[in-house]
Amino acid sequence: MSEPLLVADHLTKDYGTFRALADLTLSVAAGEVVGLLGPNGSGKSTALRLMLGFLKPTSGRARIGGFDCWADSVETRKRVAYLPGELRLYDTMTGRRLVTFLGRLRGDAPGPEVDALAKKLDIDIDRPLTHMSSGMKRKVALLAVLVPKVPLIILDEPTNTLDPTMRDELLEQLKSARARGQAVLFSSHVLQEVETVCDRVAVLRRGELVHVQEMSELREGRSVSARLTGPPPAHGPGGAELAPNTVSADGRLQMTFRGPLPVLLDWLARQPLTDLVIEPQGLAPIYKRFHG
């Protein structure tokens, strides 16, 4: 079995006595979208900069396409398109000139796909960047990242300053990149966008990796909330005993179910309940477990 496209192996970064990232071990395979989830200060941007070779790790290492991200940084960056959290663009250029300039640095000559994607992102790429809002500039930067068909796309808080419609369009573009076999790694603190597009999610807290969640497993689960109008049942769907805290003192039923939906519905139909709500299980309970 071949090595994943990106591998972080016990990646650690210290600034004096402050540990910004501690012992991160994570991988991203071709055709996979992985999200780094956590609030500001959790180590997301530090992890991405180490993987891009912008920072030298205190210990551990990262590899992209088999190349060490620090020792072989030029080779690794040939395989990556990167969107930083804070943009620094050439404001004297138009959007088109910037995309062309960055493409030629790679040895690429961007073609008609530039105009097609610019239309989807709703930007006038022939306008000078100095005349664009921060949201428009970010869309130009996204254009420059999404056009190259590199093996790996790395995005740091990519939806900042984007309106809801453009956020949805970006997520669709990331799905298209995955379908083409590209790997995507992006940081975010927005649960909904991570749930929508990711295959796996890594939760960071204070520089440490505290949880990795396969989204396929999570999507199989359902959160159930209802109010019981009679005695609580002893057993749940499928005959398993209910956990002690499933039903509160005031008769509120809160549970998570993984399994065939007909089994759940059959069990619920036999309970004395009202105010029933069934929702897909999301990341919120997991996130709150680590971040309150």
- Examine the pLDDT at 238 and tell me if it is beyond 90: no
Residue 109: pLDDT over 70: yes
Q: Where among 160, 181, 206 does a domain terminate?
A: 206
Taking 80 as the threshold, does the pLDDT of residue 250 lie above it? yes
pLDDT score at 1: 52
30-88 pLDDT, tens digit each: 999 999 999 988 999 999 999 999 999 999 999 999 999 999 999 999 999 999 988 88
Strand partners, 257: 222
**In this structure, is residue 30 part of a structural domain?**
yes
Residues 178, 48, 94, 104, Cα dihedral to 10°: -70
Residues 84 and 193 in one domain: yes
User: Do 106 and 140 share a structural domain?
Assistant: yes
Note whether 209 and 202 are within 8 A (CB). yes
Indicate whether 152 and 200 sit together in one domain: yes
Instruction: Assess whether 27 and 162 both reside in one domain.
Output: yes
Structural domain range at position 108: 6-206
Tally of domains in the chain: 2
Contact 37, 202 (CB under 8 A): yes
Average pLDDT value for the chain: 91
Confirm if 181 and 32 have CB atoms less than 8 A apart: no
Is 168 domain-assigned? yes
Q: What interhelical angle do 113-121 and 95-105 show, nearest 10?
A: 130
Same domain, 47 and 96: yes
Indicate whether 181 pLDDT > 80: yes
- Report yes or no on 215 lying in a domain: no
Report how far residue 164's alpha carbon sits from residue 140's, in angstroms, rounded to the nearest whole number.
17
Residue 291, pLDDT above cutoff 70:
yes
Residue 14 lies in a domain: yes
- For residue 68, the domain's CATH number is 3.40.50.300
Q: Which of 176, 206, 236 is the last residue of a domain?
A: 206
In a domain, residue 20? The reply is yes
Domain's final residue, options 145, 176, 206: 206
Residue 2: band (very low, low, confident or very high) from pLDDT cuts 50, 70, 90 = low
Q: Is residue 214 part of a domain?
A: no
Same domain, 235 and 199: no
Q: Is 287 a domain residue?
A: yes
Residue 211 located in a structural domain: no
- Looking at the structure, do residues 234 and 186 belong to the same domain, yes or no? no
Q: What is the mean pLDDT of residues 88-99?
A: 91
Instruction: Give the total residue count for the chain.
Output: 292
pTM over 0.95: no
